[in-house]
A and B are shown apart, each in its own frame.
Chain A
């Protein structure tokens, strides 16, 4: 079974600064997807970024980028120019690729609560 570990329960950053959230995972699969979801106080689950394991290039979405290290099974999220609206719980999630068979459910980490201070 896959497991996802987020070792930082809480983090804080000053507005306009950069912060990195850590995520490691354990799997025997060779092909899979990794995601970061954001859950603000409204508790809506919002997709931040997606990475396919077969792609060596790290995904980026505006101020959000990842550092994907497949051999180390590490998938960190970097938020640049942090904004007050980035305050939220951030969940790292794993999903098997359809070619691997079996479940395509999302497996989540426990989350990192990020606070952006003015």
Chain B
């Protein structure tokens, strides 16, 4: 079965640089979530999209922005990178069932971002 695809898998940036992370959800999934997992931490919710509209926002810095495109893929844009942004960034996808109920979130392999 097709899974969530994230690219790149690894990314190394310098402080104050910009990074773009991409997420391709499971086919026919209409909802995308972004999570950040720091070293030794549990994943923390950043932002989500349903049908190309932002559906919820968590602890996402103002330096970060994201969007979902017409083909349902999503991109997380991170500017003015800081050392503390070094983390594993997960994208998860889900689909709306009858009655607007959300199905299980399935995670991609993550993008490991290192800021030097």
Binding site for B on A (CB under 8 A): 35, 37, 42-47, 50, 91, 95, 97-99, 103-111
Given contacts A43-B110, A45-B107, contact A108 B43 (CB under 8 A): yes
Q: Which of B58, B104, B109 contacts A44 (CB 8 A)?
A: B109
Contact mask for chain B residues 78-116; partner A; CB cutoff 8 A; 1 contact, 0 none: 000000000010101000000111101111011010000
Q: Which of B44, B58, B101, B104 contacts A97 (CB 8 A)?
A: B101
CA distance A42 to B107 in the complex (A): 13
- Residue among B43, B90, B92, B101 having the largest count of chain A Cβ atoms under 10 Å: B43
Residue of B nearest to A35 (CB): B104
- Residue among A44, A47, A50, A104 having the largest count of chain B Cβ atoms under 10 Å: A104
Residue of B nearest to A113 (CB): B40
Contact mask for chain B residues 57-79; partner A; CB cutoff 8 A; 1 contact, 0 none: 01000000000000000000000
Given contacts A104-B48, A110-B42, contact A45 B102 (CB under 8 A): no
Residue of A nearest to B44 (CB): A108
Contacts of A99 in B (CB 8 A): 101
- Closest CB-CB distance, A113 to chain B, in whole Å? 10
CA distance A98 to B101 in the complex (A): 5
**Contacts of B10-42 to chain A: CB distance below 8 A:** 33, 35, 37, 42
Contact A91 B88 (CB under 8 A): no
Contact B48 A105 (CB under 8 A): yes
Q: Which of A50, A104, A110 contacts B56 (CB 8 A)?
A: A104
Contacts of B109 in A (CB 8 A): 42-44
Contacts of B106 in A (CB 8 A): 47
Given contacts A91-B42, A106-B45, A108-B43, contact A43 B88 (CB under 8 A): yes
Contact A47 B48 (CB under 8 A): no
Residue of A nearest to B43 (CB): A108
- Closest CB-CB distance, B116 to chain A, in whole Å? 20
Residue of A nearest to B101 (CB): A98
Please give 17 more A-B residue pairs, beta carbons under 8 A apart, in addition to A43-B109, A105-B33, A105-B58.
A42-B109, A44-B107, A44-B109, A44-B110, A45-B90, A45-B107, A47-B104, A91-B43, A98-B102, A103-B45, A103-B58, A105-B48, A106-B43, A107-B45, A108-B43, A109-B42, A111-B42
